[in-house]
Amino acid sequence: MSKKTIVVPVDGSEHAKKAVEFAVDWAKVHDGHIHLVHIPEPPAGDEVLVMGGASVTIYATREELEQIGQTIIDAATKMVKDLGLNDVDGSISIGNPARQIVKKAEDLKADMIVMGTRGLGDWKSLLVGSVSHKVMQMAPCTCVTVR
C-alpha cells in the first residue's frame, strides 16, 4: 500500500500545534507523509491607537505576510522532525484559507486533513472556527479536527 498523505494546515496557533502532534502520531502508525500548508491572512485592518485619540490602520505587505508564513511553516517542520518524523514538507498558498486547504488536499490526493477545531481567532463562544467549519464541509477526504 502506498504512503498516506496527510495535509496539516497551520496558522501558528496552539490548536494547530495539537493538530501537528496528532498528525505525527497517526503518520508513524500508518506510514504517512505530512504536508504542512499555511495561508497568510492579512490582518483585517488592525487599528493602532496613536495619540490623542487618533488611530492608524496597519497593513502588512504580501511579502511580509509570506515571510511570516514561511516562519510558521519552518517552525512546524522543525516540530514534526523533533517528534521523530522526517517525511514532511510544506507550502504557502495565497487566497481564501479554507478553499486553499481543500485545494491542496485535492491536488495532493490527500488521504486525510488534520487541523485544529479552533485557531488564532479569539471568538471564544465559537465551538469550531470558520476555517475548520468550511473545510469539514468541503473536504475531499477524511477531515479530523483536534481539540
Our finding on whether 85 is near ligand ATP (CB under 6 A) is no
Length of the chain: 147
Say how many residues touch ligand ATP, by CB under 6 A: 23
Say how many residues touch Mg ion, by CB under 5 A: 2
**41, 61, 79, 122 from 82: Cα distances, Å:** 27, 32, 5, 29
Pull the grid cell for residue 48. Answer: 493602532
Residues sharing a CB contact under 8 Å with residue 95, sequence separation 6 or more, in sequence order? 39
Contacts with ligand ATP in 36-65 (CB under 6 A)? 37-39, 41
Contacts with ligand ATP in 90-109 (CB under 6 A)? 97
Q: How far is the CB of 142 from ligand ATP (least distance, A)?
A: 15
Our finding on whether 35 is near ligand ATP (CB under 6 A) is no
Buried b (16+ CB within 10 A) or exposed e, 23-33: bbebbeeeebb
Residues lying near Mg ion in the complex (CB under 5 A) are found at: 119, 121
Residues lying near ligand ATP in the complex (CB under 6 A) are found at: 9-11, 13, 15-16, 19, 37-39, 41, 97, 115-116, 118-121, 123, 129-132
